[in-house]
């Protein structure tokens, strides 16, 4: 797909997402609505749309920053804040009881990787993931591959490939849950 077509497609998608945002912003930006309800609506309706399909993304730093900026713009709107209010992002997330969206993307990527690794050896997705394509690589810095990003995430989380077989342990080690509100017991 040529770059111009990709730009047009992404702009069209942004416009469509903007329409959905306008529909939800009546609820999310309403000052009379409780902050806890707004946070729950964000966690259940907005964030899933933002990270849909993130299991297979190979995010570069610039795209991660763009995703975080988008998240913070939504969260600031929910609280009725602007950049001029100079509130820290962590403070805003703490008020709404959410974690950083890039942590959720990392969790989704590792969850899917564990799922694929537990499949049978003959499973087509696992065979494709483990395929060794022999070809001459281009000169210069190589493009990020999904498996490289996943291995980096595993190192970051201090987990290894042996942990995949124990599903409960894998889920515990890769999970990034939203923090529970003060005074309530974790689920």
Q: Could you give the CA distance from residue 35 to residue 168 in angstroms, rounded to a whole number?
A: 33
pLDDT in tens, 112-148: 888 888 888 888 787 877 777 777 777 888 888 888 8
pLDDT in tens, 145-185: 888 888 888 888 888 888 888 888 888 888 766 776 654 44
Q: Could you give the CA distance from residue 39 to residue 24 in angstroms, rounded to a whole number?
A: 13
**Domain boundaries along the sequence of the chain:** 3-99, 106-133+143-174
Q: What is the pTM of this model?
A: 0.75
What string of DSSP letters covers 73-122?
HHHHHHHT--GGG---HHHHHHHHT---HHHHHHHHHHHHHHHHHTS-TT
């Amino acid at each position: 797909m040529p770059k111009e077509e990709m730009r047009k497609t992404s702009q069209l998608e942004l416009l469509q997402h903007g329409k959905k945002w306008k529909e939800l912003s009546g609820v999310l930006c309403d000052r009379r609505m409780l902050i806890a309800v707004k946070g729950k609506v964000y966690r259940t309706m907005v964030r899933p749309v933002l990270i849909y399909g993130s299991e297979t993304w190979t995010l570069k730093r610039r795209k991660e920053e763009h995703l975080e900026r988008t998240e913070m713009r939504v969260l600031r709107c929910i609280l009725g804040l602007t950049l001029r209010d100079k509130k820290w992002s962590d403070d805003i997330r703490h008020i709404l009881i959410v974690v950083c969206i890039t942590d959720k993307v990392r969790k989704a990527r590792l969850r899917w990787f564990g799922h694929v690794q537990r499949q049978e050896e003959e499973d087509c997705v696992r065979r494709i993931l483990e395929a060794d394509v022999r070809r001459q690589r281009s000169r210069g810095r190589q493009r990020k591959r999904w498996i490289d990003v996943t291995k980096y995430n595993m190192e970051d989380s201090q987990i290894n490939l042996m942990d995949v077989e124990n599903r409960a342990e894998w889920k515990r080690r890769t999970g990034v849950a939203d923090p529970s509100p003060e005074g309530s017991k974790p689920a």
